[in-house]
Amino acid sequence: MKIGLVLFKTPSFSEEFLISKIKILQQGGHKVILFANKNNNFNDCEVVEMPRVSKYFFLQIIKMTLAYFTIVIQCPMTVYNFLRFEKIDGKSFRQRWENLYLGSKILRENLDWLHFCFITTALRKENIAKSINAKMGVSLRGYDINIYPLKNHNCYSGVWKKVDKVHSISYSLLEKAKKYGLDRSTKQEVIFPAINTNRFKNKKQRVSFNYKNTKNTIDILTVARLHWIKGLEYIIEALAKLESVNFKYTVIGSGIEYERLMLVINQLNLKDKVKLVGHIPHKDIVPFYEKADLYIQYSLDEGFCNAVLEAQSMGVLTVVSDALGLSENVVDGETGWIVPKRKPSLLARKIEHIISMEDKKINIIRLNAIERVQNKFNLNRQKKYFDSFFNENSFQNK
């Protein structure tokens, strides 16, 4: 099959979930074409750069004229169909022709599937798949469902009407999409993210926890962008409430809220204990997990979170918030712990509780987590599910 994947930009190294998705599809014998607004020298498959909008009016007019001329010569019927479908949907004359320009690079391709890897990439491109007789798929991820519709009411109504199949990375995300209008009868499938379980393996035999002895220092780790949605400020507030616990907290990731976090670190006198180490390439991240005793992901919202899978797979004890996908990622009390979000006092108490637990109980949780991730969130399993997602024969185009 020929599958077109639509993204804003080609995947960077940190977006391993997208790279692995492309590899899985290629291994399954499919031809993958990536449609992206920006190509960062991505070489794993064919990349088609999408038309961009120029800030100079006359340049834009020239670009649009050329695009229309080319596509009308290449595939006149597709153009006719696309404009017809857009008209049926009630789009204005101007919107129709703008959308034709935006989708012109995809419209000339002969695809079996057109899959929008983020649902926001499908906006204004709802009629492309139907115009080229391809099936249309969308993936639901955190920001697209949790934040974007709050600012853009009813933004996905057009997508829900046209989409053939929806992929979600967690059940809770899928439920939330239904709140925003996803029809229950639309085909939908939850395919959890997966990690390379061979790479994130618990190689080191961990020594027993003996934090009751206050001379020991507990190494705490979070891998996250410095962004409010990751709840890092609340983690730091919780750490400041820890009583008689020696700890070192490392945050891997960069982002716009460095200043905000530096303020809270300074205000709570944690300068010697909390380090924001910035961006670390994903290939170099394993030693940080090896060193860590406790991994915390206290996000206000998450689609699922691969870093939590990696931590569990490495045998690091994991505490997460009850944000959407995280409560499916970790089984509370069995493979880690779930704490209600925005409650730094509760998070602090939970950390103290974990530290006071018997080694035997702790190791059971650690082993449960390793086993669950290795069995349920490995790449082979994901490959099987993605194969079936695109291979379904019983489809009828809407």
Partner 1 sequence: MEKKINVAIYSGIIPAPNFIENLIKLIGDEKINIYLFGNKGSVKYKNSSIKIFFTPQGKIKIIYFVFFQLFRLFIFYPKKLYKLIRNYKVFTKSGSIFKSLSKILPVLNHTPDIFHIQWAKSLPFWFFLKEIYGVKIVLSLRGSHINYSAFANDSLAKNYNILFPNVDRMHAVSKKILLKAEKYGASRDKTDIIYSSLDLGLLKTYKKNNFKPHRPFRFLSVGRFHWVKGYQYSISAFANLKKINKNIHYLIITNNSISEEILYQIDELSLKNNIEIVHPDSQDKVYEIMRQSDCLILPSVQEGISNVVLESMAIGLPVISSDCGGMKEIINYGRNGFYFPSRDSVALEKLLLKVMNLRIEERERIIREGEKFINQNLNTTLIKSQFHDFYKKTTEIGI
Residue 87 engages partner 1 in binding (rule: CB under 8 A): no
In whole angstroms, give the CA distance from residue 294 to residue 312: 10
> Given the complex with partner 1, which of 262 and 364 has the nearer CB atom?
262
**Beta-bridge mates of residue 4:** 33, 114
> Given the complex with partner 1, which of 182 and 311 has the nearer CB atom?
182
Closest distance of CB 259 from partner 1, Å: 4
Listing DSSP states for 45-80 in one string gives: SEEEEPP---SSHHHHHHHHHHHHHHHHHH-HHHHH
Residue 228 engages partner 1 in binding (rule: CB under 8 A): yes
- DSSP three-state, residue 378: strand
The interface with partner 1 within residues 151-180 (CB under 8 A) comprises 151
> Given the complex with partner 1, which of 109 and 257 has the nearer CB atom?
257
Closest distance of CB 279 from partner 1, Å: 16
Contact letters for partner 1, residues 273-312 (x by CB under 8 A): ---------------------------xx-----------
Distances (CA, A) of 112 to 5, 85, 392: 11, 19, 12
Q: Which of 259, 272, 380, 393 binds partner 1 (CB under 8 A)?
A: 259
Closest distance of CB 102 from partner 1, Å: 25
Residue 64 engages partner 1 in binding (rule: CB under 8 A): no
Structure tokens at 180: 């925003």
Closest distance of CB 353 from partner 1, Å: 20
Q: Which of 27, 40, 74, 266 binds partner 1 (CB under 8 A)?
A: 266
Q: Which of 147, 277, 371, 398 binds partner 1 (CB under 8 A)?
A: 147
In whole angstroms, give the CA distance from residue 91 to residue 97: 10
Distances (CA, A) of 232 to 263, 267, 282, 317, 327: 12, 15, 20, 18, 18
Residue 345 engages partner 1 in binding (rule: CB under 8 A): yes
Closest distance of CB 241 from partner 1, Å: 10
Q: Which of 262, 280, 364, 379 binds partner 1 (CB under 8 A)?
A: 262
Structure tokens at 148: 């974007």
Binding piece for partner 1, criterion CB under 8 A, among 33-41, 58-66, 165-173, 260-268 = 260-268
In whole angstroms, give the CA distance from residue 153 to residue 87: 22
Residue 264 engages partner 1 in binding (rule: CB under 8 A): yes
Q: Which of 78, 146, 170, 202 binds partner 1 (CB under 8 A)?
A: 146
What is the number of alpha carbons within 13 Å of residue 316 lying toward its C-beta? 29
**Beta-bridge mates of residue 3:** 32, 113
Return phi, psi of residue 349, to 5°: -60, -40
> Given the complex with partner 1, which of 258 and 395 has the nearer CB atom?
258
- CA dihedral of residues 376, 226, 274, 329 (deg, nearest 10): -20
- List of residues contacting partner 1 (CB under 8 A): 146-147, 150-151, 228-229, 237, 257-260, 262-267, 300-301, 342, 345
